[in-house]
Structure 1
Amino acid sequence: MRGRVANVLEDPVTKNLLINAEDTLLNRPINLEVDMVVLAAAVQPSEDTDRTRKLFGVSKSMDGWLLEAHPKLNPCGTTTAGVFLAGVCQGPKDIPDTVASAEGAASAASIPIHMGEVELEPYFAQCIEEKCAGCGMCVNLCPYQALALVEKDGRKVMQVTEAKCKGCGTCGGFCPGGAIWMQHFATPQIVAQIDAFLLGGEQ
């Protein structure tokens, strides 16, 4: 039986335990009388989960579990292209759910393997080297480790690894010199969209 327990009560006469639960397989409520109830041991993320997360650029929940790209639309994928999740790395799961997520991750991973390449979104940060002061503050802020300082023409400037960048805009919003802008989301483009909305298409 697999189900969700609502409550556990003690019978005042027999001293047995009465369990009220929902059978998730049959989709109906059930009531059981048992002698003993054993609580399942708590499950926590592995100690090296955070190191693995940083290595592959995967987000985590407040409880420390690895986060999928979207719980409904992309439950096995992550924000890093080509990296997929399966099993209890996402949270406590029983065997059927673990097998189902593993099958989904294997199926999703087989697509880029068969194609021979990974398709990336065309949204990434770009640096205006003339404005970049080489302070490196954006490098520490990037959640995907997509930025780095490189030596160029005798000074340090920020360089973007486009394959890692997800276009979140964190670096662009923080840059004190305004040296970073987002591909397809430049300030003139956004201002033009706002003007078009406010003016209703009128010039």
Structure 2
Amino acid sequence: MAGLKTFTGKAAGMDRVNVDTDQIIPKQFLKRIEKTGFGQYLFYDWRFLSDGTPNPDFELNQPENAGASILVANENFGCGSSREHAPWALLDYGFKVVIAPSFADIFHQNCLKNGMVPVKLQEAEVRYLLEQTQNQPYELTVSVEDRTVTDSKGFKAEFPLSPYWQTMLVNGWDEIELTLQMEDSIVNYEESAR
């Protein structure tokens, strides 16, 4: 994975609560064995009408939200099942950051493990961001190094992120890559244990 120190991108708003993983990536699309290719099915039942044409009323189908890479959502985002496909679909669609007042715990961990930044902000801060996304283009800068979200209008908010996950995201490491950082120590231990 590529490291993510600071990221600036267009923010799109989805003012919906309790968006569950089956809404993020419906179960009928979970048959793939790769981590890629799920973006085309992101929010499928909301993005498309029953005849397969794009739903013109869905937030992400609005022309002004095209190319958004930061999703501003509402509380309890990612609730439901523990499927890791949800962050895979968001990443494959082009989102690098999801901002919300709260996340389901497993979804939050799955984001971090896949290099996506789940940013938890106060409800009033998220409400401000949701309002600002109505006036496109609207860009945000998310600094993993400083644990801040800023915009060009003077907005600045801090978000919690453990030092462990901060290091992992900044360096673009997953848990296997972290283990490989200790390869010399592991080899030395194995040799001395013989």
Indicate the TM-score class for this superposition, using the shorter chain for normalisation. Answer: under 0.3
> Relative to total residues, which structure has the larger strand share, 1 or 2?
1
How high is the TM-score relative to the length of structure 1? 0.22
Question: Which of the pair is proportionally richer in helix?
Answer: 2
Q: TM-score, normalised by structure 2?
A: 0.22
Q: Which has the higher contact order (CA 8 A, sep 6+)?
A: 2
